[in-house]
Amino acid sequence: MTAPGLPYALLAELTYRCPLGCPYCSNPVELTRAGDELATDEWRRVIDEAAALGVLQILFSGGEPTARRDLAALIGHATAAGLYGNLITSAVLLDAARIAAFAAAGLRHVQISFQDSAADGADRIGGFAGGHVKKLAAARLVRDAGLELTVNLVVHRHNLDHLEALLAMAVELGAGRIEVAHVQYHGWALANRAALMPTRTQVEQAGATVAAARERLKGVATIDYVAPDYYARRPKACMGGWARQFLTVTPDGRVLPCQAAQSIAGLAFESVRDRSLADIWERSPAFDRFRGTGWMKEPCRSCDRREIDWGGCRCQAFALLGDAAATDPACALSADHAAMLTAAETESAAAAPDFRYRRIGAA
């Protein structure tokens, strides 16, 4: 068993309900119903246990967290527990009164996702008519309320050619931080991979656009860039390593090392309804399974990057290879890397199929 460190952040998935249907949603594909959501008092206990465990930041997420009517109460509870609150939202349910209530409860930071730079494309990608205009209005209200704003841009073949316009939009809205993230192909995104996969040319252009914008926007906005795995030579340290820094609690109380962890067959994830967060973090076999480096096979086991990228992403290794203990095929040292690259080149060269929108019960 590898001794656990302290988790830094808790991703609180308050609900799987969401008005949008993004085809790259990180929620499970097997969503059959909104679920047996934790009650307000149960979330309060989770927040207290997270603070006691050493968590510093709570990310209120979903689904769409603003679909919960008790969100302001939960933000207030997190503030009182000393946690830095961050709301990750599509923003289509926000208005001035709710934003004021969140700010009064101690919220400091709001992250709003945009699907594209213009309404027609954005609403098509999100599967929600009228969403883009609502997001623009909500982002302005967030800044008017004095809250920090991050604009989240998930990029793929349908919006990468608009990246300059997306960055300009984020700056105009007053975002101090912009996250440009290529799609991570798990769950819904994997089901929509052929519809979303960009070409190598698009990816190279995006890298150049971000590099130039970082120079241009020094002192205005920070840009975080999440590179695409399929054209990579080395994987990312997914979640900073399995069960090293992050915890996710699902709407019904399951505790996971990452949002996609339930996609790995054979791992049993426990609930905050049965055990404390600290007990799960420190002693759950599923958390211990890929913590540290002791579980690694070759080539990771003897690689000098094994404590840098932690072997990449366990969920991606399972999804593509059926073996969560395999080297992430995003790594060029993996025997399966060439097949991953071929899939990207083949799919991005073909006409894009229709989206399969994320809907509860659509699996």
The contacts of residue 302 (CB under 8 Å, 6+ apart) are none
Interface with ligand SF4: number of residues (CB under 6 A): 14
**85/312 with CB nearer ligand FES:** 312
Neighbours of 151 (CB within 10 A): 26
261 makes contact with ligand FES (CB under 6 A): yes
340 makes contact with ligand FES (CB under 6 A): no
Contact assessment for residue 293 and residue 312, using Cβ atoms and an 8 Å cutoff: no
Q: What angle do CA 170, 248, 237 make, to 5 degrees?
A: 70
**120/307 with CB nearer ligand SF4:** 307
Among candidates 142, 179, 145, 184, which has minimal Cα distance to 163?
A: 179
Which of the residues 132 through 171 are near ligand SF4 (CB under 6 A)? none
Of 118-126, 257-265, 269-277, 344-352: span binding ligand FES (CB under 6 A): 257-265
| Binding track over 147-186 against ligand FES, x by CB under 6 A | ---------------------------------------x
315 makes contact with ligand SF4 (CB under 6 A): no
**76/311 with CB nearer ligand FES:** 311
* Distances, alpha carbon 322 to alpha carbons 262, 304, 334, in Å: 14, 25, 14
Of 33-41, 162-170, 224-232, 255-263: span binding ligand FES (CB under 6 A): 255-263
* Single residue of 10, 331, 340, 344 touching ligand SF4 by CB under 6 A: 331
* Single residue of 328, 329, 337, 347 touching ligand SF4 by CB under 6 A: 328
**174/299 with CB nearer ligand SF4:** 299
Q: Quick one: what does residue 16 bind among ligand FES, ligand SF4, none, with the CB cut-off 5 to 8 Å set by partner type?
A: none
Among candidates 33, 27, 107, 25, which has minimal Cα distance to 66?
A: 107
Query: Where does this chain bind ligand SF4 (CB under 6 A)?
Result: 234-235, 299-300, 303, 305-306, 309, 311-312, 327-328, 331, 333
- Residues making contact with ligand FES (CB under 6 A): 186, 238-239, 242, 258, 260-261, 313-315
